[in-house]
Structures are given as structure tokens and as C-alpha cells.
Amino acid sequence: MPEVGNIASGVQPPNSLFGKYELGKLLGCGAFAKVYYARDIATGQSLAVKVFNKQKITNNSSLMSNIEREIDIMRRLRHPNIVKLYEVLATKTKIYFVMEFVKGGELFAKVAKTRLSESQSRKYFQQLISAIEYCHSRGVYHRDLKPENLLIDENGNLKVSDFGLSALTGHIRDDGLLHTLCGTPAYVAPEILTKRGYNGSKADLWSCGVILFVLTAGYLPFNDPNLMMMYKKIYKGNYQFAKWMSSDLRRLLARLLDTNPTTRITIDEITSNPWFKKGSSGTKFYDCEDEEFLVKPEPDAKTTPLNAFDIISFSSGLNLSPFFDSTYNTHSQGEKLVVAGPPEEVINKIQEIVKEDNVRIKKRRDWGVELVWQNGKFVIGFEVFRLTERMAVVEVHSRGGGAELYDQIWTNRIKPELLERRFDIEHSQH
């Protein structure tokens, strides 16, 4: 266990973060972030804290976009094989991700030493597919799956991390495909290389196939010192099985590394595959009826203030506001407001404003509501979160209808009345 100072005395240590977490030794360092071991001062729980330099982020629009996306995605994922993001905090110069501490390190470190047995590889692959199935069911596509982004906990279980390059359903264009070129060269799917668009789920499964190959073979299926030659091998599906691979494993890998995404194996086919099914009774898979895998509010969540991340989202400097739900596309309108009063009052106010309209009102989970006009051709959705005892955050999104109808209903009618309840966010933080 990494060492930190004495927290049992009740004296706040000099390396304390907001009086809540005690930072310990440096675990890793990148170009824009450092990861430290930390401990919750109140409970003693081990944590990892990822620290970003705010100035470097605000000067790098691409990195800032990745961080915004990672927060948005990780806050909606709760699965035993996905690293948890507990909290995001900030000062004037730093942003802190408070995350689950995964003691065992990267899966890459294990496979770099030696290839794994088929039974050990199968266990990790089953857990990987369980996590990816869950992500896809929630409209999240990782897009950078590789052993370096898979961590192993102290019980030997796999945890998927690093969602900075992930995409949401809302990023899919009108052709039904994603178009951003991203990923790590040796693990990228061939259809991404064509630059004509790709299915995020199919691309993730290709990367899972490369990972399974690496675990069982001890080397990459597609590798060449010349990057263009590597891409040619990927595009043509030019690889050789290791001689020690079983016939069942070879058949599964051939389906995973199918260069045609339309005939590539699906997750349902993977979970019914004979090689995959061996010893899978201990691995849980996502079911839309299974409460265990649903993101549930913490006890008394409706009265719990949001953390510092939610406050800095509305202040100058780092803009973390464009968090759109997966049910809304990238062409939709969207906005956030800070208003006075509890969430239940805000929701009631919104409904009161439109009560004379020919509008269908659909309640959503927690403090959320959808207003549906024109038989579903235009929808405005609202989610309201308690920020402090005296403030709430209103997230508004729309789909369909166009900018004119959005302005008519939201900008000119609902918003002005909510703005009467608005606080000056800069003053509210002091």
C-alpha cells in the first residue's frame, strides 16, 4: 500500500485536498496529468486522484473536449468491471478526478512479461465483454480499448479505464455512423482506416479481438515498424495464429478479427460462443431489467448538493457544460442554468408555464421531465439537480423542431421565467 501521512490524529495534513483527501505518492505521469495515490481522510478508503493543469487544458481545445467527454461518460457508468469516478474537484489552477484505486496496475504489465493461459485470458475477456456490453447498452463506445487501459484490481478482476476518446450515441451522424478518427494504431478497426464512417460497437469488438489475441499469443496480430504497412495488414486482416491456440479460440478470434464489420461477431454471439462460455458463471452480464447495473442515486441523493465540479461548470475558465444525454443528437440545442429553489419547485414551475399548451408531459427519473409537441416531432427535455440548499441546476436539451421553434418555446417563454429565479454564480461561491 502506498504510504501517506498519518490521518488518524484528526489533524489536517499539509497535502490535504479540500480537507477530504490526503494525497500520497505519485503513481503515474503524463503530458497533461499526474495520478497520485490518495486516501479519504474520513473513511481511510484508498483512492486514485488524477490531477490536470487547468491552464494547459484551457489552451488545448482537443484535450479539454476529451476531459469533458470523460466526465460526462464516467458519471453515467456503474459496473463492477469499470473504474469508478467518484468526484471532480477544482481550484483556480488544477482539476482533480477522484477515482477508484485499482491496486494491481495495467493488464499490459502482465502480458508484457509473458503470454497468459487460455483460461486466464478467458476470465479477463469475459469481464471485458461484460463491461463493453454494458457501455454499449448505455450508448457509450470506448474507441481506445487496449491492455494499457485495462487495470487489474487486488482480487484479480479487470477494470476498464480511460474514456477520454469515447463517443456517445449523440455523436452518431445522420448516416448512423461515427466519423472521428481515433484509437491506438495496432488496435484500430479496419473500417476506421477507410475514413467513411464506422459503427462504434463493431469497432470496439475488433479491439477486444486484438486484446484477446495479445493475451493468448503474447504478441500483436498486426505489427510492423512501418505504420502504413501495419495499416495494410489490418485492412487485409493479415495475421497468423499462434501454434498453441486451441481450435475453439481460433474460431472466435477469426470472427472478432473479421475485416467486414457487417459480418463481424456480435456481443450476443460472443456470449454464446463455446470457448467464451467455459467458466463464465462468475461473470455477470448486463440486463436491462437488472437493477444491479443501473446507475442509482446515492441515499438521499435529492437533498445532496452536487460537488465542486458542478459549480465550476458554470463559472468562467473551463467550460464543462456541453453534456448532452445520449438520446439527443449533436445538432440539438442545449443549455444549463443556475436557478433559485429546490428541484421539485423548478420542475413544477416549468410545467405551470406550459399548462395551457397542447403539450404531452413525460416524467423522467429523479427530477426530470420531457415536454413533447407535435406528436413527438419536437421535444424539450429538462433535468434538474440540487446544487446547494438555495440553488439548483437546470439542464435543457431539445431534439427536432429546429432553432425557430426552440427559441419560441424555450428562449422566449420558459427561460425568461426561470431566469427570474437565477443566482449570480460568481457570488454564490463565496
| pLDDT tens column, 350-381 | 888 888 888 888 876 567 788 888 777 888 88
Domain with CATH 3.30.200.20 in the chain: 16-100
pTM over 0.85: no
| pLDDT tens column, 347-357 | 888 888 888 88
Q: For domain 107-293, which CATH number applies: 1.10.10.10, 1.10.510.10, 3.40.800.20, 3.40.190.10?
A: 1.10.510.10
Q: Lowest-pLDDT range, 19-23, 236-240, 304-308, 386-390?
A: 304-308
Burial zone of 259 (CB within 10 Å; 0-12 exposed, 13-18 middle, 19+ buried):
middle
User: Is 174 noted as a catalytic residue in this protein?
Assistant: no
Domain with CATH 3.30.310.80 in the chain: 301-428
**154 contacts: CB under 8 Å, gap ≥ 6:** 103, 104
**How far is residue 332's CA from residue 401's CA, in Å, rounded to a whole number?**
9
Per-residue pLDDT at 285: 63
Question: In which band, very low, low, confident or very high, does the pLDDT at 273 lie, cut at 50, 70 and 90?
Answer: very high
pLDDT above 60 for 314: no
Average pLDDT over residues 265-282: 87
**Superfamily name with CATH number, domain 16-100:** Phosphorylase Kinase; domain 1 (3.30.200.20)
Average pLDDT over residues 242-269: 96
pLDDT above 80 for 302: no
Sheet holding 21-29, edge to edge: 16-17, 21-29, 33-40, 46-53, 94-100, 85-90
Q: Which of 40, 72, 144, 258 is catalytic?
A: 144
How many percent of the chain have pLDDT more than 90? 33
Residue predicted with more confidence, 81 or 175:
81
Per-residue pLDDT at 3: 46
pLDDT above 50 for 327: no
Say how many residues make up the chain. Answer: 430
| pLDDT tens column, 142-189 | 989 999 999 999 999 999 988 877 777 767 787 777 877 777 889 999
Average pLDDT over residues 333-357: 80
Per-residue pLDDT at 48: 93
Per-residue pLDDT at 388: 57
Residue predicted with more confidence, 352 or 12:
352
CATH hierarchy code of domain 301-428: 3.30.310.80
**How far is residue 202's CA from residue 145's CA, in Å, rounded to a whole number?**
12
Question: In which band, very low, low, confident or very high, does the pLDDT at 233 lie, cut at 50, 70 and 90?
Answer: very high
Residue the block writes with cell 504510504? 3
Nine-digit cell string for 267: 456481443
Sign of CA dihedral 82, 83, 86, 91: negative
Residue predicted with more confidence, 390 or 85:
85
Residue predicted with more confidence, 220 or 90:
220
Choose among 293, 294, 297: nearest CA to 306. Answer: 297
Question: In which band, very low, low, confident or very high, does the pLDDT at 283 lie, cut at 50, 70 and 90?
Answer: low
Question: In which band, very low, low, confident or very high, does the pLDDT at 201 lie, cut at 50, 70 and 90?
Answer: very high
